[in-house]
Structure formats: structure tokens, C-alpha cells
């Protein structure tokens, strides 16, 4: 990444050591924060990918398998046809000109054409114009309707903010909450590194609560209370609780009872509840552990809980949509002071608007073809994997297969995924391996993950990037590789692991 191989840059640095911007002079928060998902392993994987392209056969593997990031379409999940048809039509409306329409109608179904026309009207006629900073009003109305149908409680488009993926939404709320350097934000450990990175950048304090690996990464209110009491006793002004459900990197799904306890905890302790629900359709045990939104649970608890402040996040990046590259997401505010929502708007307005193509994909996600529509049958097939190879059923099979494989490895245990896209196996490393890691200036799981990458081309993220209980080591791997590649993928990990264990025995 940004290597220093431009000779003029290097020469300049040498000629004039006193740059204005150096690691010593710049913002320490920028220097110190960590973001592992695109960290050392990902950078090395890019180098290896380039080497394979330039010199095929020069490495012990043929391709890089990017299991470091939930990037479904990179790993051959196909987009939903209807969604892309509408996108193409809004991108090039000339397809719908009278002279082209006869041909267009042979390729595009009538409901896609109708939807594209409707959306173009909602966008001043062009998908290239800035939209409302909070998002296209029509799309926010559709999101509110989707939420009402999902939860059975009202939703107001004025409380919906469309965003460039879930991440900038989370950052908007954190930036607003962190008013001084003693503000604490409760986050699960292990967590998605967006949280620790953003809290560090905004100058707050991550307040860790631990998920219980021995109980399927369960979240208990006892642990929340312990964590809160400890951090308050240290003088922190703890203001919010972040919950990721389904969990990332852990894949756990919260039960309804558990969620009620969490809402009650936030109410009692006066904490803003930040509900990261981007994996709400990646559910693998729908009978035992279906998805419930925190909005629904909160509303079901009655007027006593009306005051609870909740911000819920969703995204087009995951689930069967998997359109992460276009950066689309939204958050819904429940019980948030209207003046604070105006501040969210002001922050959004500095970035002018979320990407229009991301906003359109949100519309498609929350308003897919309905029974009777020309595109419904194909949509339903693609979405439920009656035929598809890369939809929820298939993902569940892959999750189970990979977890089983990890559990056969020496010193490795791995909980099954109840949701999301990841496994987070624990690896017990020998003292010799830990010392070798230390000598190499790496964390033990970073050392293991890098060795895995160099030997097999499989890129995972070390558990230290997500934080973990002291003296435990993990890595996060997506289970997105296509089913037909799964056996080979597992075989290469198995071979690597047994050689690694032998080497450091």
C-alpha cells in the first residue's frame, strides 16, 4: 500500500527531512487507531495477488481467497437480477426512449422499466444529481414502510437517514456522542473494528463487554452490568451500548428474552442503544433464533420504555443483496431528540448526499418484486436459493462445513454460525509459536494468519484485530467461498495447520 517506490517522493523525503506531515507531527489519533480488516494481511494479500498476475506459478497456490472481508460478489455471489436491471435503466434512460423500447422490452421486464421511471422522477430525472442530504424522500418512505411491515410498529421517513453503507451512520452517532475524552461507548468483545477505530478517532473510550465463547458467544446482562460498573468507577461517562446482532465476527443471534433484557438495561442505565443489524437476513437457524429488530422489541415493551434512545443500522452490503461496493445503508432514529437529529442532518450535509446508486439499491432491497409482478418468480428463486448456489441455504451449508472442518484441527474449536457471514475459531498456539511471533514483532494470531496466507493464499483477519479475551487467539474467516471450492479450501487449511503445529511443537 502506498509504497515509497516513487523515486521523487523518496528523494524528496531524504532531501528535506523536515516535512510538515510526519508520523511524529500528525494527529496521534490517526496514527494510533487500528483497522485490521484491511490491515497487514490484506495489504500482503494484494502484493501476492499482483505477484501471481505478474509471475504465475511463483507461489505455492494459484489464487488469493479473500476471506478477510464479507465481500459476497467478489466470491461469486451473483447480484439479484431485478435490482441490476433497474440500475441499468436508471443509468441509461435512453434505453426507455420510444425508438429503443421494443428492444429494451425484450431484455428488461415491464416492472423493472416501470420502477426505473418512477425512481428517475424521484431523482430530478437523473441518477447523477445530488439528492437530499438525508436521502431521496421516496426511498426513505419505502424504508419506513419496510420497517413497519417487518416490525408491526409505525416508522416515520423523517427519522430515516440514508447513508453510504452502515459505517458512516455509526460514525455520525459516535461523533455526536463523544463530547469529551471521558465518554465511554460499550462495545462487544470480539467486535467489528469499525467501533474501536471510530471511537479512537473521535477521542472516546471503548468500554468492552465480553461475549461468552463457551456459550455460543452469548451476551449476558450480568456481563454488561459488570463492564458498566467497572468503567463508571473509573470515571468514564458511559453513554451508549453497541450491539451487533447477528454478531460480527462471532455470528451469534440474540434471543427475544435476551433483547428485552438489553433494552431494559439501556433504559435503567440511561444508555443510547446502537443496534448494528446489517446481517438481519443472514440467519441460519430461523426456527430457533429468528431475527428480531431492537425497534420491534423496544416498541413491544410498552410506554414505560418510550424514552429509550435507539439508533438502528442496516445496509445493502450483506444478505442476499451483497451490493457492498455501491455503499448504501440507512439508520432509523427512535426516541432521539429532534434537535439531535438536526445535528445528524448537518453532519450528513457536509458530505452533500449518500451515493445515489447506493440509495437506489436500498429502495430495491426494501421493496423487491411482489407475488404477481413479472419479476417475482426469478427474484424469489434468487433470494431463496431454490436454484442459486450462493443464497442463504447454501451459506448455511458452507458455514456448517467450515465450522466442522475447523473443529477437526488440532487445538482449534469453533462455534457454529447462527447468523452473519463469519466464523471466529479459537486456535491454541504453543509457547514456541508465541515466542516466534514475538520475535517477528507480531501478535500470535497475526503470526499464524500471515503464515496461513503465505502458505495457502487464504486471507483471514487475526482475532487481535477484533480484540479477544486475554491469552486467547482467534481468526475471523468468512464462509463465502463458492461451495465447489470449499473442499479444496478446507484441505489447504488443514495441511497448513498441521505443518504449522508440527513446526512449533
Q: Which of residues 341-400 bind a copy of itself (CB under 8 A)?
A: 341-347, 349-358
Contact in structure between 409 and 429 (CB atoms under 8 Å): no
Nearest C-alpha neighbor of 89 from the set 105, 73, 75, 71? 105
Smaller CB distance to a copy of itself: residue 265 or 345?
A: 345
Strands of 134-197 (E only): list them: 160-163, 183-189
- Ranges of H-type helices in 62-109: 81-91, 101-107
Distance between CA 234 and CA 175 in Å, rounded?
A: 22
151, 213, 323, 382: which one binds a copy of itself (CB under 8 A): 323
Contacts of 255 (CB under 8 A, 6+ apart): 289
By CB under 8 A, what part of segment 13-52 binds a copy of itself? 13, 15-16, 18-23, 25-28, 30-31, 33, 35, 37-39, 46
Residue 63 as a binder of a copy of itself (CB under 8 A): the answer is no
Residue 6 as a binder of a copy of itself (CB under 8 A): the answer is yes
In the complex, the smallest distance separating the C-beta of residue 105 from a copy of itself, rounded to whole angstroms, is 10
65, 119, 127, 406: which one binds a copy of itself (CB under 8 A): 127
Nearest C-alpha neighbor of 497 from the set 478, 480, 475? 475
By CB under 8 A, what part of segment 398-417 binds a copy of itself? none
Smaller CB distance to a copy of itself: residue 306 or 487?
A: 306
Smaller CB distance to a copy of itself: residue 29 or 285?
A: 29
How many residues in the shown chain lie near a copy of itself by CB under 8 A? 126
By CB under 8 A, what part of segment 287-306 binds a copy of itself? 303, 306
Contact in structure between 310 and 294 (CB atoms under 8 Å): yes
In the complex, the smallest distance separating the C-beta of residue 195 from a copy of itself, rounded to whole angstroms, is 11
In the complex, the smallest distance separating the C-beta of residue 312 from a copy of itself, rounded to whole angstroms, is 14
Contact in structure between 282 and 246 (CB atoms under 8 Å): yes
Cα angle 392, 394, 400; round to 5: 100
Cα angle 10, 16, 22; round to 5: 75
By CB under 8 A, what part of segment 68-107 binds a copy of itself? 69, 71-74, 76, 79, 81, 84-85, 87-89, 91-92, 94-95, 100, 103-104, 106-107
C-alpha torsion 132→137→143→147, nearest 10:
110
179, 229, 386, 440: which one binds a copy of itself (CB under 8 A): 179
Contact in structure between 180 and 237 (CB atoms under 8 Å): yes
Residue 239 as a binder of a copy of itself (CB under 8 A): the answer is yes
Strand (E) or helix (H) holding 317: none
In the complex, the smallest distance separating the C-beta of residue 411 from a copy of itself, rounded to whole angstroms, is 31
Smaller CB distance to a copy of itself: residue 84 or 150?
A: 84
Smaller CB distance to a copy of itself: residue 355 or 481?
A: 355
Amino acid at each position: 500500500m502506498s509504497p515509497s517506490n516513487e523515486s521523487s517522493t523518496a528523494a524528496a523525503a531524504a532531501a528535506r527531512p523536515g516535512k510538515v506531515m510526519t508520523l511524529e507531527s500528525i494527529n496521534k489519533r490517526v496514527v494510533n487507531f487500528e483497522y485490521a480488516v484491511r490491515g497487514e494481511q490484506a495489504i500482503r494479500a494484494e502484493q501476492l495477488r499482483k505477484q501471481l498476475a505478474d509471475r504465475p506459478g511463483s507461489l505455492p497456490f494459484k489464487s488469493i481467497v479473500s476471506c478477510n472481508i464479507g465481500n459476497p460478489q467478489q466470491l461469486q455471489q451473483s447480484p439479484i437480477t431485478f435490482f441490476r436491471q433497474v440500475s441499468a435503466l436508471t443509468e441509461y434512460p435512453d434505453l426507455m426512449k420510444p425508438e429503443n423500447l421494443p428492444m429494451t422490452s425484450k431484455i428488461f421486464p415491464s416492472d423493472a422499466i416501470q420502477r426505473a421511471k418512477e425512481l428517475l422522477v424521484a431523482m430530478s430525472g437523473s441518477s447523477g444529481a445530488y439528492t437530499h442530504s438525508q436521502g431521496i424522500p421516496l426511498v426513505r418512505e419505502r424504508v419506513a414502510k419496510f420497517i413497519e411491515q417487518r416490525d408491526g410498529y409505525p416508522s416515520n421517513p423523517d427519522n430515516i437517514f440514508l447513508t453510504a453503507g452502515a459505517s458512516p451512520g455509526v460514525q455520525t452517532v459516535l461523533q455526536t456522542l463523544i463530547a469529551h475524552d471521558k465518554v465511554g461507548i460499550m462495545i462487544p468483545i470480539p467486535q467489528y473494528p469499525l467501533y474501536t477505530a471510530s471511537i479512537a478517532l473521535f477521542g472516546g473510550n471503548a468500554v468492552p463487554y465480553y461475549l461468552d465463547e463457551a456459550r455460543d458467544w452469548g451476551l449476558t446482562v450480568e456481563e454488561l452490568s459488570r463492564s458498566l460498573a467497572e468503567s463508571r468507577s473509573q470515571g468514564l461517562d458511559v453513554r451508549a451500548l453497541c450491539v451487533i446482532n447477528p454478531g460480527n465476527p462471532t455470528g451469534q443471534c440474540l434471543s427475544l428474552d435476551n433483547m428485552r433484557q438489553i433494552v431494559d438495561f439501556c433504559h435503567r442505565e440511561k444508555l443510547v442503544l446502537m443496534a448494528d443489524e446489517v446481517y438481519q437476513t443472514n440467519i441460519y437457524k430461523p426456527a430457533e433464533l429468528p431475527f428480531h429488530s431492537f425497534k420491534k422489541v423496544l416498541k413491544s415493551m410498552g410506554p414505560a420504555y418510550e424514552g429509550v434512545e435507539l439508533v438502528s443500522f442496516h445496509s445493502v452490503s450483506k444478505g442476499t443483496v451483497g451490493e457492498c461496493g455501491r455503499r448504501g445503508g440507512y439508520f432509523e432514529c427512535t426516541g432521539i431528540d429532534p434537535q439531535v437529529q438536526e445535528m445528524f442532518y448537518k453532519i450528513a450535509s457536509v458530505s452533500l448526499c449518500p451515493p445515489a446508486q447506493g440509495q437506489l439499491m436500498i429502495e430495491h432491497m426494501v421493496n423487491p418484486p411482489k407475488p404477481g409482478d413479472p419479476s417475482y418468480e426469478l427474484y424469489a428463486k434468487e433470494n431463496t436459493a431454490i436454484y442459486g448456489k450462493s443464497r442463504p441455504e447454501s451459506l448455511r451449508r458452507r458455514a456448517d462445513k467450515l465450522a466442522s472442518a475447523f473443529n477437526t484441527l488440532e487445538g482449534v474449536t469453533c462455534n457454529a454460525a447462527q447468523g452473519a457471514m463469519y466464523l471466529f475459531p479459537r486456535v491454541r498456539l504453543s509457547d514456541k509459536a508465541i515466542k516466534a511471533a514475538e520475535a517477528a514483532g507480531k501478535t500470535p494470531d497475526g503470526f499464524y494468519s500471515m503464515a496461513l496466507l503465505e502458505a495457502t493464499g487464504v486471507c483471514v483477519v487475526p482475532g487481535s484485530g477484533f480484540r479477544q479475551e486475554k491469552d486467547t487467539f482467534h481468526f475471523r474467516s468468512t464462509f463465502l467461498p463458492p461451495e465447489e471450492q470449499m473442499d479444496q479450501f478446507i484441505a489447504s487449511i488443514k495441511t497448513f495447520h498441521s505443518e504449522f503445529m508440527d513446526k512449533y511443537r
